[in-house]
Amino acid sequence: MAQINPYIHFNGNAEEAFTFYKSVFGGDFAMVIRFKDLPNSEHPIPESEAEKIMHIALPIGETDLLMASDTPEFMGKHNENETRSKISISADSKEEADQLFNGLSVGGTIEVPISDSPWGSYFGMLRDKYGIEWMVDYDSKYSGNP
């Protein structure tokens, strides 16, 4: 079956953000490639961008990857507050949902506090300190837990 892995872009702070995500989710980076690691004689990378992230991947759970890169300056900056896409996380328990929600919300903005929802799941929404929006959900009907 096909797999969906979120890919997000940052304005030069992808490494900082992914170090933060690693502290929340655990694990080790599956891949880290910097712009300097890819020689390109047609489009030389300015020294100011050499250490920035061209690609980074953090495994989450058994099969998922959270991936990202920095947007090179020549492509312009993007407004981090205009992206209304959210990354949805399905936790295995209320405890895990709380841990992930509380970890991701450090320095961010809670949009919907995590709690029992009217539709029967345990749910919350937030924007983290990097402007990325998350939905955290636990639903025992879908996880196989009582």
Nearest-CA neighbor of 85 among 21, 4, 28, 2?
A: 4
> What's the whole-model pTM score?
0.79
Tell me the average pLDDT of the chain: 87
Decide if pLDDT at 118 tops 90: no
Decide if pLDDT at 145 tops 50: no
Q: Please name the residue that has the structure tokens 């492509």.
A: 75
Decide if pLDDT at 29 tops 80: yes
Lowest-confidence pick of 19-33, 63-77, 106-120? 63-77
Distance between CA atoms of residues 129 and 25, nearest Å: 16
- Asked if 131 contacts 9 with a C-beta cutoff of 8 angstroms, the reply is no
Q: Across residues 90-98, what is the average pLDDT?
A: 94
Question: Percentage of the chain surpassing pLDDT 70?
Answer: 88
Question: In the prediction, which pLDDT does 2 show?
Answer: 60
- Asked if 80 contacts 131 with a C-beta cutoff of 8 angstroms, the reply is yes
Distance between CA atoms of residues 104 and 110, nearest Å: 10
Distance between CA atoms of residues 102 and 124, nearest Å: 10
Helix, strand or coil, per DSSP, at residue 28: coil
- Where does the pLDDT of residue 146 fall: very low under 50, low under 70, confident under 90, or very high at 90 and above? very low
For residue 138, which amino acid is it? Y
Phi, psi of 98 (to 5 degrees): -60, -45
